[in-house]
Amino acid sequence: MLELEILKTFGDVDTESSFKKITTIRIGGKIKYLISPHTFEDLKNLLAYLKEKNAIFKVVGRGSNILASDKDYDGVVIRLNKLDNCYFQDEYAICEAGLSAVRLSTLAMNNGLSGIEFMSGIPGSMGGLVYMNAGAYKSEIKDVLDSVFVLKDNELVWLDASECDMSYRHSIFMENKDWIIIGCKLKLNKGVKEEIKELINDRLNRRKETQPINFPSCGSCFKNPENNFVWKLIDGIGLRGYRLNDIQVSEKHPNFIINNGNGKSEEFLSITNKIKKEVKEKYDIDLNLEVEIFEW
């Protein structure tokens, strides 16, 4: 049995939250305990306590790539949003896992460092971006990743990027769910602040023009198959704009599935399964989700 007063010693505790509140798709059941540790040590001690108590838990960043079940979660969700520090050393950026990608791209620009303009519109945290090797505009985190700070087997270690098995929307952390990304080190390039700002603004304007950023979503839903684009395949099966209650394939960009208000996890999955089935039937292509499905 977890004790609330003990949990409070590890960080801020919320007993009134839900996945609907902490994910960008705004879907999911109530969370028994939502905890935001303040430091590495708080996190490490919290994990030790939870393991001692055999408690179930889930670690999240900013919830931008998670579809959670509609059922209530009788466990602990550890949110790393308080671990958001960053500093620069020559051409390197060293940051904690909870730092938002948008914030880091702005900090890098202000320091005259280039190389991560592509992530200026990605609404996730650095831990999440490393976890899935996120990318945009033909660039990925692996292109700038130097190393990752990981809590592994109750020890804090640095893993070189070469040890992280990074590929398209994949990393070694997906196969090792008990390894927790604490931070990362990126290798950037010196640039001219005005030019970096211009490129960031260009990227942001393209996002506004082509993506449904005014609606809750998980971001891109499916991974692009080799030599193809998911949005074209979804158009080809006539499902652009397809809607099931409040969940809808975006009219603006069909690889985004949006929540028009009170969408449910099962509706989201019903639509993605329909897309996968019809794309397979018409094109003989197997689609794979980018989105992490969290069920219990």
What is the full DSSP assignment across the chain? Answer: ---HHHHGGGEEEESS-BHHHHSTT----BEEEEEEESSHHHHHHHHHHHHHTT--EEEESS-SSEEE-SS-EEEEEEE-TT---EEEETTEEEEETTSBHHHHHHHHHHTTEES-GGGTT--SBHHHHHHHT-EETTEEGGGTEEEEEEEETTEEEEEEGGGS--BTTB-GGGT-TT-EEEEEEEE-EE--HHHHHHHHHHHHHHHHHHS-TTS-EEEE-BPPPTT--HHHHHHHTT-TT-EETTEEE-SS-TTEEEE-SS--HHHHHHHHHHHHHHHHHHH-----BSSEEE--
Point out the residues that are catalytic.
Answer: 169, 220, 290
